[in-house]
Chains A and B, each alone.
Chain A
Amino acid sequence: MRAVLRAGVVMAAAVLAAAGCAGGGESGGAATEPLSVWQFYGDESMPTGKPFYDLVARYEQQSGTDVDIRFIPYDDFNRTLTQAAAAGDGPDIALISAFDTAAMADAGVIQDLSPQVEAWGQQGAYFPTGWESTQADGKTYGIPHLADAYAVYYNTAMLQEKGLAVPTTWAEMESTAAALSGAGRSGLAVSGIEGAEGATGLEIRMLAAGAQPTEIDSPGGHAALESFQRMVGSGALSEGFLTWNEEDAKNQFATGQAAMMINSATYVSILREENPDLQWSVAVLPSEATGQTVLSAENLTIGATSDDVDRAWDLITFMQRPDELQTYLPERNKLPARSDVPGTAEDPVRAVFAQQLQQAWAPDAALAPHNTEVLTALQAALQQVISGTPVPDAARSAQATIDEALGTS
Chain B
Amino acid sequence: MTAVLERTRTPAPAHRRRRRAGARADQLFLVPAVLFVAVTVVYPLAYSVLQAFQDVGLKEVIRGGAEWVGFANFADQFGRPEFWQALWLSLVYAVGTVALTYAGGLALALLFLRRFAGRNVMRALLMLAWILPTVVGANVWRWLLDGSYGLLNAALRGLGLIEGDFFWLGRPGPALVSVIAATAWSFAPFAMILIVAGLQGVPAVLYEAARIDGASAWQQFRHVTLPALRPVSITVMLLIFIFAFKTFDTVYLMTRGGPGGATLTLPLYAFQEAFEFRRYDTAAVATTVMLMVPLVLSVFYFRSLRKEEAA
Give me the interface of A with B, judged by CB distance under 8 Å: 1-4, 6-8, 11, 14, 78-79, 82, 85-86, 103-104, 106-109, 184, 193-196, 198, 238-240, 242-243, 257, 369, 372-373, 376, 379-380, 383-384, 387, 405
Question: In the complex, which residue of chain B has the Cβ closest to the Cβ of A81?
Answer: B62
Which chain B residues in 1-40 approach chain A with CB under 8 Å? 21-22, 24-25, 28-29, 31-32
Contact of A243 among B259, B261, B272 (CB under 8 A): B259
Given A194-B255, A194-B256, A376-B276, 15 other A-B contacts at CB below 8 A?
A4-B21, A4-B24, A7-B25, A7-B29, A79-B275, A107-B57, A184-B148, A194-B257, A194-B260, A238-B147, A238-B167, A239-B147, A240-B148, A257-B149, A387-B259
Say yes or no: A239-B170 contact (C-beta < 8 A), given A7-B25, A108-B59, A195-B256. Answer: yes
B171 contacts partner chain A, Cβ-Cβ < 8 Å: yes
Q: How many residues of B contact A (CB 8 A)?
A: 37
Instruction: Find chain B residues with CB under 8 A from A1 CB.
Output: 21
Contact of A238 among B165, B171, B259, B272 (CB under 8 A): B165
Say yes or no: A239-B167 contact (C-beta < 8 A), given A1-B21, A103-B278. Answer: yes
The reply to whether A86 and B61 contact each other, CB–CB distance below 8 Å, is: yes
Instruction: Find chain A residues with CB under 8 A from B57 CB.
Output: 107
Instruction: Find chain B residues with CB under 8 A from A380 CB.
Output: 260-261
B134 CB to nearest chain A CB (Å): 14
How far is A379 from B256 in the complex, measured between Cα atoms in Å?
12
The reply to whether A195 and B276 contact each other, CB–CB distance below 8 Å, is: yes
A400 CB to nearest chain B CB (Å): 12
Contact of B259 among A7, A14, A383 (CB under 8 A): A383
Which chain B residues in 161-208 approach chain A with CB under 8 Å? 165, 167, 169-172
Contact of B276 among A108, A193, A372 (CB under 8 A): A372
The reply to whether A107 and B21 contact each other, CB–CB distance below 8 Å, is: no
Give me the interface of B with A, judged by CB distance under 8 Å: 21-22, 24-25, 28-29, 31-32, 57-59, 61-63, 142, 146-149, 165, 167, 169-172, 255-261, 272, 275-278
The reply to whether B258 and A193 contact each other, CB–CB distance below 8 Å, is: yes
The reply to whether A8 and B169 contact each other, CB–CB distance below 8 Å, is: no
B15 CB to nearest chain A CB (Å): 14
Instruction: Find chain B residues with CB under 8 A from A184 CB.
Output: 148
Instruction: Find chain B residues with CB under 8 A from A387 CB.
Output: 171-172, 259-260
Question: In the complex, which residue of chain A has the Cβ closest to the Cβ of B24?
Answer: A4
What are 10 A-B interface contacts by the 8 Å CB criterion? A3-B25, A104-B58, A106-B59, A109-B62, A194-B261, A238-B148, A238-B165, A239-B170, A242-B170, A257-B148
A371 CB to nearest chain B CB (Å): 10
How far is A85 from B149 in the complex, measured between Cα atoms in Å?
45
Question: In the complex, which residue of chain B has the Cβ closest to the Cβ of A195?
Answer: B256
A6 CB to nearest chain B CB (Å): 7
Instruction: Find chain B residues with CB under 8 A from A196 CB.
Output: 276
The reply to whether A82 and B61 contact each other, CB–CB distance below 8 Å, is: yes
B217 CB to nearest chain A CB (Å): 44
A41 CB to nearest chain B CB (Å): 20
Contact of B169 among A6, A104, A243 (CB under 8 A): A243
How far is A103 from B59 in the complex, measured between Cα atoms in Å?
8
The reply to whether B167 and A373 contact each other, CB–CB distance below 8 Å, is: no
The reply to whether B275 and A78 contact each other, CB–CB distance below 8 Å, is: yes
The reply to whether A242 and B258 contact each other, CB–CB distance below 8 Å, is: yes
How far is A242 from B171 in the complex, measured between Cα atoms in Å?
9
Instruction: Find chain B residues with CB under 8 A from A373 CB.
Output: 276-277
Most buried by B among A106, A107, A109, A376: A107
B147 CB to nearest chain A CB (Å): 4
Question: In the complex, which residue of chain B has the Cβ closest to the Cβ of A3?
Answer: B25
Question: In the complex, which residue of chain B has the Cβ closest to the Cβ of A88?
Answer: B62
How far is A198 from B257 in the complex, measured between Cα atoms in Å?
13
How far is A387 from B170 in the complex, measured between Cα atoms in Å?
9
Instruction: Find chain A residues with CB under 8 A from B272 CB.
Output: 376
A321 CB to nearest chain B CB (Å): 32
Contact of A194 among B31, B61, B63, B258 (CB under 8 A): B258
How far is A380 from B256 in the complex, measured between Cα atoms in Å?
12
A99 CB to nearest chain B CB (Å): 13
A17 CB to nearest chain B CB (Å): 13
Instruction: Find chain B residues with CB under 8 A from A379 CB.
Output: 258
Instruction: Find chain A residues with CB under 8 A from B172 CB.
Output: 387
The reply to whether A193 and B256 contact each other, CB–CB distance below 8 Å, is: yes
The reply to whether B258 and A383 contact each other, CB–CB distance below 8 Å, is: yes
Instruction: Find chain A residues with CB under 8 A from B25 CB.
Output: 3-4, 6-7
Instruction: Find chain B residues with CB under 8 A from A4 CB.
Output: 21, 24-25, 28
How far is A387 from B58 in the complex, measured between Cα atoms in Å?
35
- Across the A-B interface, give the 5 residue pairs with the lowest CB-CB distance, nearest first: A194-B258, A3-B25, A383-B260, A194-B256, A107-B58
The reply to whether B169 and A106 contact each other, CB–CB distance below 8 Å, is: no
Instruction: Find chain B residues with CB under 8 A from A369 CB.
Output: 278
How far is A104 from B25 in the complex, measured between Cα atoms in Å?
49
Instruction: Find chain A residues with CB under 8 A from B22 CB.
Output: 3
Say yes or no: A108-B148 contact (C-beta < 8 A), given A194-B259, A239-B167, A240-B170. Answer: no
The reply to whether A240 and B165 contact each other, CB–CB distance below 8 Å, is: yes
How far is A11 from B34 in the complex, measured between Cα atoms in Å?
14
Question: In the complex, which residue of chain A has the Cβ closest to the Cβ of B268?
Answer: A194
Most buried by A among B28, B29, B58, B165: B58
Question: In the complex, which residue of chain A has the Cβ closest to the Cβ of B145?
Answer: A243
How far is A364 from B98 in the complex, measured between Cα atoms in Å?
47
Question: In the complex, which residue of chain B has the Cβ closest to the Cβ of A4?
Answer: B25
B7 CB to nearest chain A CB (Å): 24
A70 CB to nearest chain B CB (Å): 19
B168 CB to nearest chain A CB (Å): 9
Contact of A107 among B62, B170, B260 (CB under 8 A): B62
